[in-house]
């Protein structure tokens, strides 16, 4: 187990979101706060963005990077917010977790203050139960999406309003996308609420939305 100068233990954070517009920093900040209270030193953060929970955790791009980093730096503690972030497929997730534990990793799901242990009956029951719930949630979400497609309804949260005409006008005036982004934030645009908490689109999300609408900043070619 890698340690720092004192008694603190080095650990890495793994986070995952399945939708590009979700803010992965919510998970990361929660884990960092948990780690700080318990004396863990965060040596690295590895977020998988726009990656489905049905995939094998060990085959995800950032998780592969995490494992390589841990191997190179003698780190064996992995912090994950909850089991749904690790995976939403019961067989895939259990097998991946088993392999990690066999390789000597300590996996902690900080939301539950749960150290993964498949040899302890109580711990095993809890892990299986939480993964079953995560898998059922995934299946339920798929059913909702399919039902929404058939009925022509959208089941995601309403898209954050972007004043498209104003964006086009500012682009014609020579504004950069970053200038427009800052300007719109200052006017109160690009904000939305999740469970009563106000959030704002990141710059990357803003550009992604514009690209999806076919709005791109044209590159000026040098004359001659």
Q: What is the domain-level CATH number for residue 40?
A: 3.40.50.1390
In this structure, the dihedral spanned by the alpha carbons of residues 86, 202, 146 and 80, taken in order and rounded to 10 degrees, is 10
Q: What is the pLDDT of residue 90?
A: 82
Distance CA 175, CA 189 (A): 17
Residue 48 CA from chain centroid, whole number:
6
pLDDT level of residue 166 (50, 70, 90 thresholds): confident
Which band of pLDDT confidence, cut at 50, 70 and 90, is reported for residue 215?
confident
In the chain, the percentage of residues whose pLDDT exceeds 70 is: 79
- Note whether 121 and 21 are same-domain residues: yes
Q: Are residues 116 and 174 in the same domain?
A: no
Query: Residue 134: which H helix or E strand, with range?
Result: helix 121-151
Within a domain: 75: yes
Do 195 and 87 lie in one domain? The reply is no
Domain edge (last residue) among 144, 174, 203: 144
Number of domains in the chain: 2
Place of tokens 């242990």: 117
**2-27 tens-digit pLDDT:** 544 456 899 999 999 887 556 788 89
Task: Assess if residue 98 is contained within a domain.
Answer: yes
On whether both 88 and 172 belong to a single domain, the answer is no
Q: Containing domain of residue 71, as a range?
A: 9-144
Q: Is the same domain home to 112 and 72?
A: yes
Q: How far apart are CA 42 and CA 134, in angstroms?
A: 27
Q: Is residue 40 part of a domain?
A: yes
Report whether pLDDT(34) > 90: yes
Q: Would 69 be classed as within a structural domain?
A: yes
Same domain for 106 and 193, yes or no, is no
- Tell whether 103 and 38 lie within a shared domain: yes
The predicted structure's pLDDT at residue 108: 96
Query: Residue range 127-144: average pLDDT?
Result: 73
State the Rg of the chain over Cα: 21
User: Mean pLDDT, to the nearest integer, of 64-85?
Assistant: 95
Cα torsion 132, 127, 18, 157 to 10°: value is 60
Q: Determine if the pTM surpasses 0.75.
A: no
Token pair of 145 as six digits: 């999406």
159 part of a folded domain? no
DSSP reduced 3-state for 93? helix
């Amino acid at each position: 187990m890698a340690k720092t100068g004192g008694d603190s233990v080095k650990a890495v954070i793994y986070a995952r979101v399945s939708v590009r517009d979700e803010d992965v920093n919510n998970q990361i900040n929660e884990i960092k706060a948990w780690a700080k209270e318990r004396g863990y030193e965060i040596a690295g953060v590895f977020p998988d963005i726009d990656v489905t929970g049905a995939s094998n955790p060990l085959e995800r791009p950032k998780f592969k990077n995490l494992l390589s980093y841990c191997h190179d730096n003698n780190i064996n503690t992995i912090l994950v917010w909850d089991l749904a972030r690790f995976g939403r497929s019961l067989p895939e997730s259990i097998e991946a977790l088993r392999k990690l534990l066999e390789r000597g990793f300590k996996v902690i799901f900080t939301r539950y203050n749960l150290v993964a242990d498949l040899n302890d009956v109580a711990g095993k029951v809890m892990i299986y139960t939480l993964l079953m719930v995560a898998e059922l949630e995934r299946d339920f979400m798929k059913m909702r999406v399919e039902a929404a497609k058939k009925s022509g309804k959208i089941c995601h949260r309403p898209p954050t309003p972007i004043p498209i005409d104003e964006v086009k006008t500012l682009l014609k005036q020579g504004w950069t996308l970053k200038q427009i982004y800052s300007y719109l934030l200052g006017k109160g645009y690009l904000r939305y609420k999740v469970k009563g908490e106000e959030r704002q689109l990141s710059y990357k999300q803003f550009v992604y939305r514009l690209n999806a609408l076919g709005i791109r900043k044209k590159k000026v070619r040098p004359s001659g």
